[in-house]
A and B are shown apart, each in its own frame.
Chain A
Amino acid sequence: MAQQELQVVFLNHRDALLRFLRSRGASENAEDILQDLWLRVVDMDDSAINTPLPYLYRAANNLMHDRFRMTQRARKRDNEWSETTHGTGGASDAPLPDRTLIARQQLAEIETQIGKEGPRVFQIFRRFRIDGISQRQIAEEMGISLSAVEKDLQKAYRAIAAWRERENGD
């Protein structure tokens, strides 16, 4: 029965999923996180899921990324708090309209940085990451090879990483 397929696949691949969680940095929390994943699976109507195993891996992958972001945020908040108390100033001190301005400026900077790799690079990245279009589809749309799409995407990711490095590094 389709209703239980996801659960069956989960149980059959429990060890592999656990191993994956560990490789994604779950360490001693891996069992807890797997349990968390299981609770989501149990209540789920899986009739729309065609490929259960990749679905489970993706869910596990997202769980780990959410956790990582949470940790990052906690760290950032602590840093901002200490910056404020030590009077060195920080983004959190800015009034709200300024924060919109800052966000606009950041977006413009990132887009300029990606744009330096060529207009196609920016266009492809935008289609891939914001519109959620697959690389194959982008390749067809633009009449270029799949590997050209992949290369352009790598350039875009690299450009953002370089921007972040400058922005965050002292």
Chain B
Amino acid sequence: MAEINDMIREQAIAWAIRVREPDFADWDGFTQWLEADALHNIAYEEALLAEDQYADLVEALDEPSDKSGQPGQDSISHLRQPANDDHAAPVTITRRRVMSGAIAAALVAAVGAGIWTQMPQPYDVMTGPGQRKTLTLSDGSRIQMNGDTKIELDRKKIRYAHLDRGEALFTVVHDDDDPFIVDSGNIRLVDAGTEFNVVKSEDILDVAVSDGVVIYNPERENISLPAGKRLYRDGARNRVTVSDISIAQVGAWRTGQLGFTGEPLKQIAQVLSRNLGVNITVSEAIAARPFSGIIQLKDRDPQNIEPIAALLGVQAQKQAEGWILIGDNAVP
């Protein structure tokens, strides 16, 4: 049976604190976290009950001690309720709302699961092609995963992620004393700021920064990438290029918009596969041909690649599994 583990509890506490802030605005992010697992809501309520219990005790004990013009009758009637019962509900309502067995069982499990070890507890999070997922870490950092992406995390190392493949946008809660680290293959990215997108596919690593600063391989090249910069590493040729990128373009895949600036069609096909959930390959003859432009995927039929192929200036041919992009017949 699923139960509330330490990771969920930590996340719930982080959310309880964030949501209580007067100017909290990330209700979408909060909804997404709650939706990811029904236990999240129970853990969140548990975190609220904990802080309530303290506040209620303070309130219950402060009131009787404040004797200025307070009739004794009031403090007695206040204390007749259990300590955390500050605005008692009519019994007729509460009696009918008996907690379901499943929730009660989950709460019992939550109370029982208090063992904390220091051993590494790695775990993988994966998305299938065309699938997306948002992870919220217990420090409040967020990882938005695009399709066909695999990330390794560790419950004992909250400020660390390893991007095995695919694409993710990291929105990191910055901490000078404890920087967030993203490894991908033998490349290390260290946040000195907040938001950046990383794509890993075979030999390519593509990093784009939309907020703050990311340090690329601090122990070796030590390249500092401020917001609006993009680093493209071609591992096969061992070449690193740094260029400008519009901040609005970073992580634009989330809205279905894909921007390209001269990437080879082979790579673009991978990007399309990841986003559409359809296998798309490229014929050898045009694999290296570059493309620049923006492709809007929103409202597109993923089963029909032909209009996208037209944008790329090529033709799409249906295959047993997915599509292949081939050179336009008009071009010799």
Q: Indicate if the CB atoms of B61 and A147 lie closer than 8 Å.
A: no
Sample of 11 further A-B pairs with CB below 8 A, known A147-B177, A161-B13:
A25-B45, A69-B52, A71-B97, A73-B85, A74-B99, A110-B54, A150-B173, A154-B13, A160-B53, A160-B54, A168-B111
B50 is contacted by which of A16, A51, A164 (Cβ under 8 Å)?
Answer: A164
> Does B20 lie at the interface of the complex (its beta carbon under 8 Å from any beta carbon of A)?
yes
> Does A91 lie at the interface of the complex (its beta carbon under 8 Å from any beta carbon of B)?
yes
> Does A145 lie at the interface of the complex (its beta carbon under 8 Å from any beta carbon of B)?
yes
- Using Cβ atoms and an 8 Å threshold, which residues of chain A touch B22? 132, 134
Chain B 151-183: CB-based contact to A (< 8 A → 1; otherwise 0)? 000000000000000000000011111000000
- Using Cβ atoms and an 8 Å threshold, which residues of chain B touch A72? 49, 99
What number of residue pairs across chains A and B have CB atoms under 8 A from each other? 146
Chain A 71-85: CB-based contact to B (< 8 A → 1; otherwise 0)? 111111110000000
Q: Which residues of B contact A (CB under 8 A)?
A: 9-10, 13-14, 16-17, 19-25, 27-28, 30-31, 34-35, 38, 41-42, 45-55, 57-58, 60-61, 64, 76, 79-80, 82-85, 88-89, 93-95, 97-99, 104, 111-112, 114, 140, 173-177
Q: Indicate if the CB atoms of B34 and A169 lie closer than 8 Å.
A: no
Q: Indicate if the CB atoms of B64 and A19 lie closer than 8 Å.
A: no
Q: Indicate if the CB atoms of B49 and A104 lie closer than 8 Å.
A: no
Instruction: A123 to B176: give the CA distance in the assembly, Å.
Output: 23
Instruction: A73 to B53: give the CA distance in the assembly, Å.
Output: 13
Q: Indicate if the CB atoms of A147 and B34 lie closer than 8 Å.
A: no
Chain A residues within 8 Å of chain B by Cβ, number: 57
- Using Cβ atoms and an 8 Å threshold, which residues of chain A touch B9? 161
Instruction: A16 to B89: give the CA distance in the assembly, Å.
Output: 28
The smallest C-beta distance from B190 to any residue of chain A, in angstroms, reads 16
Nearest chain B residue, comparing its CB with the CB of A22 = B35
The 3 closest A-B pairs by CB, nearest first: A23-B34, A74-B94, A160-B50
